[in-house]
Amino acid sequence: MFPWFWLHWAPQLHFPLSGAVTQDIFSGIRPTAGDADVERAVFDVASYGKQLGWLSEVVLGQQPDATPERAAQAQTALQCLRTLAVEVETIKDRQRRERREAASAAVEALAQSDPEALAALLARHAVPPAVPAPRRRQPARRRTPPATY
């Protein structure tokens, strides 16, 4: 018998947890649902479950029948949300800066390699000068002749 026949038809056994067991949770993020890079970076700071837990604790801590322990948890969760908001703004600022730098590098590379294409690109994305809107003419006021008595 030919040995390559058995190599091709050899059975493959997969025991539980014997293969790749990582799960890509970002496959559910649609490209049109915001900025996927920012979403991933924020998820690294606080998962969706953690964010939802903080929001739930804050809402439940605001209820009139909330216990003092729940109110204290709500204050802690609120502080976590405030910290997260600051970190999200930092992530967004860093993302904007990185995109500006990448765009600048791409424009520089295009200027070096194909100046005509750069000129066409800049012409296509040029912002037209602002033209002031024409002023509306006010209707002329009719003068009423002075009343004669």
| pLDDT score recorded for residue 92 | 95
Q: How many residues does the chain have?
A: 149
Q: Is the pLDDT confidence value at 57 over 70?
A: yes
Please compute the mean of the pLDDT values over residues 60-89 and round it to a whole number.
Answer: 94
Residue-level pLDDT at 35: 82
The pLDDT, as a whole number, for residue 3 is: 59
pLDDT band at 96 (very low <50, low <70, confident <90, very high): very high
Do 77 and 69 form a contact (C-beta atoms < 8 A)? no
- Quick one: tokens of 113? 């390699």
pLDDT of residue 17: 65
Q: Which residues contact 57 (CB under 8 A, 6 or more apart)?
A: 70, 73, 74, 76, 77
Q: Where do the structural domains in the chain lie, given as residue ranges?
A: 32-115
Per residue in 2-31, pLDDT tens?
555 555 666 666 666 666 666 665 565 565
pLDDT at 75 over 90: yes
What was the pLDDT predicted at 47? 86
| d(C-alpha 83, C-alpha 89), whole Å | 10
d(CA 45, CA 48): 10
Q: Write down the pLDDT at residue 24.
A: 62
* Amino acid at residue number 10: A
Average of per-residue pLDDT across 100-117: 94
> Is 95 within 8 Å of 42 (Cβ atoms)?
no
**Do 57 and 77 contact (CB within 8 A), yes or no?**
yes
CB-CB contact of 83 with 60 (8 Å)? no
Mean pLDDT across 72-100: 95
Euclidean distance between CA atoms 91 and 86, whole angstroms: 9
